[in-house]
């Protein structure tokens, strides 16, 4: 696979630059970096072949085909379904130490308040045909122990997270504020959801107004610097003198988790 990719890159470079030195300057460093990186990814089990997502109502289904050395296998297929933000079930197929294995993972994280949530985690492993009960139990216990260790690596990260009410966002970050509101709807009573939907629409409109106001403010600053005329756009009056609004202060608070393990 890498050979075909490098060959295509070399051909494109040769056609574009028509200099063998240019081809060497591009292909050689790329080769020296790609081969060790592929070896490291294979060693750490990072290799990912297929990943796709399907959104349907309040459910999100994710299909992942790859490998996971941490779970003792050469191949791994995971089909995860998120039933809202509080719970997801993952059905996995793969191999562990040469044995086919079919575990099912359950993960529930239910908010208690704005700064903490209750965590439940469970694993069940399907029996392998042809093995005794003792052998199946040994495989299941080993898999569950390793899966729990990998899962709690993420939990340790959650314990150190803090919430920033007004984070600095880039263009590709997506509608973070609307996603936060969407999460809050999931835990409301049904009779209260529509009111929050209306509030979310107002928030989006307010965001649009703030963006228009920010654009007007930038035009004002440009007019002050150049001494040029000001203009009126979108019903917002602009001029050399404007009202300054203090920036929103970011509030950070630690996220606490409470682990609840059940057989």
User: In this predicted structure, what is the pLDDT of residue 263?
Assistant: 39
Q: pTM for this one?
A: 0.48
Q: pLDDT confidence of 42, banded at 50, 70, 90?
A: low
117-161 pLDDT, tens digit each = 888 888 888 888 888 889 888 888 888 888 888 888 888 887 787
**Beta strands 116-125 and 256-261: pairing type?**
parallel
Q: CA-based diameter of the chain, in Å?
A: 87
Q: To which residue do tokens 């949530």 refer?
A: 117
99-101/87-96 β-pairing? antiparallel
> What pLDDT shows up at residue 208?
47
Domain 48-158 has CATH 3.20.20.70: no
- Name the β-bridge partners of 78: 64, 92
Nearest to 125 by CA among 147, 150, 154: 147
Domain ranges of the chain: 1-46, 48-158
Q: What is the pLDDT of residue 6?
A: 67
In Å, what is the CA distance from 168 to each residue of 154, 172, 176, 181?
Answer: 24, 12, 11, 18
Question: Distances from the Cα of 191 to the Cαs of 44, 47, 59, 185, 203, in angstroms?
Answer: 48, 46, 21, 11, 20
């Amino acid at each position: 696979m890498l050979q075909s990719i490098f060959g295509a890159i070399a051909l494109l470079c040769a056609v574009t630059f028509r200099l063998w030195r240019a081809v060497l300057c591009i292909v050689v460093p790329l080769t020296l970096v790609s081969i060790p990186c592929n070896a490291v990814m294979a060693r750490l089990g990072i290799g990912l072949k297929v990943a796709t997502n399907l959104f349907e109502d309040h459910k999100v289904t994710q299909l992942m085909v790859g490998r996971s050395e941490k779970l003792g296998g050469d191949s791994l297929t995971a089909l995860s379904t998120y039933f809202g933000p509080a719970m997801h079930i993952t059905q996995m197929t793969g191999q562990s130490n040469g044995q086919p294995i079919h575990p099912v993972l359950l993960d529930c994280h239910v908010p208690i308040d704005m700064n903490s949530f209750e965590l439940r985690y469970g694993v069940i492993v399907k029996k392998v045909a042809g093995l005794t009960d003792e052998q199946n139990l040994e495989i299941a216990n080993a898999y569950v122990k390793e899966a729990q260790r990998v899962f709690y690596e993420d939990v340790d990260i959650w314990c150190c997270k803090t919430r920033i009410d007004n984070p600095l966002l880039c263009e590709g970050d997506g509608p973070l504020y609307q996603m936060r509101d969407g999460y809050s709807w999931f835990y409301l009573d049904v009779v209260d959801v529509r009111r929050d939907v209306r509030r979310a629409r107002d928030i989006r409109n307010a965001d649009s107004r703030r963006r228009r106001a920010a654009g007007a403010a930038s035009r004002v600053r440009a007019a002050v610097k150049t001494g040029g005329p000001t203009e009126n756009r979108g019903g917002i009056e602009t001029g050399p003198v404007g009202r300054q609004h203090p920036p929103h202060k970011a509030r950070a608070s630690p996220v606490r988790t409470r682990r609840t393990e059940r057989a």
